[in-house]
Amino acid sequence: MSFLTILPMAVVMVAGTQLVAAVFLASGDRPRSASLGYLAGAAFVVVPGTTAAWLVTRGVKTSVGGGDGGGRSPVETTIDWIVLVLLVVLAVVVFVRRRRAGQPGWMGKLRHATAGYAFRLALLLFVAMPADDITMVTVGASAARHDLPWWHLLPFMLLTLLLLALPLLALVLLGQRAERVLPRIRDWADHHSWIVSEVVVVFFILVTVADLLT
């Protein structure tokens, strides 16, 4: 496994509500400050959350004596099974949430959001969403199980933030034309992103099963 394997999981992190909220913020009264506050809040959760999963798994693996290079150890097999169970749960969560199409009423208020409000919103969304929690644990644990150094998590974290920044980038690069692009991003994230998420999760499930079979 390399960082390229876990990189697509960034799509699962932002699919749906998170990306839709980013679009509303970029379309609001304070698009730049609110969007940057939102990105800061997301980073405040994603970086330590993924890092904590990596540290805990690495610590458990080291203390039990796994990863000595002499074949897969029992602790590595256990980690693979835990990751597999989490991925199956994640697939179910993503599938169930697909029925929540349509924007909740509170999103309309995001057009008037301040940077501080956007920061707190990102904290709430990324902490309270089970799919994001499971994704961070899965990515961090998988990286540690395969002895990947911490910096291999950085592409996943950066891609997560880049995807969230797409509405702001569209606004900066396209100017008034972004008024046509942003609704398309919002509608796609609201109605179709769950399909991409499921594809990514299934891919990661197959990778984990392959580890168990080797």
Whole-number pLDDT of residue 122: 93
Look up tokens 């499930």; give the residue: 205
Q: Where along the chain do its domains lie?
A: 3-213
User: Distance between CA 24 and CA 110 in Å, rounded?
Assistant: 6
The amino acid at 73: S
Provide the residue-wise pLDDT of the chain in tens; the chain has 214 residues.
676 788 999 998 988 788 888 888 888 788 899 999 999 999 999 999 999 999 999 998 888 765 455 556 788 888 889 999 999 998 888 888 776 545 556 676 788 889 999 999 999 989 988 889 999 999 999 999 999 999 999 999 999 999 999 889 888 887 777 677 777 777 777 677 778 888 888 888 998 888 788 7
Token pair recorded at residue 132: 């994001």
The amino acid at 35: S
Token pair recorded at residue 204: 């990661």
- Alpha carbon 154 to chain centroid, angstroms: 12
73 by Cβ neighbours in 10 Å (0-12 / 13-18 / 19+) ranks as middle
Considering the entire predicted model, what is its pTM?
Answer: 0.85
Identify whether the C-beta of residue 87 lies closer than 8 Å to the C-beta of residue 4.
no
**Residues 12-48, buried b or exposed e (16+ Cβ, 10 A)?**
bbbbbbbbbbbbbbbbbebbebbbbbbbebbbebbbe
Whole-number pLDDT of residue 165: 93
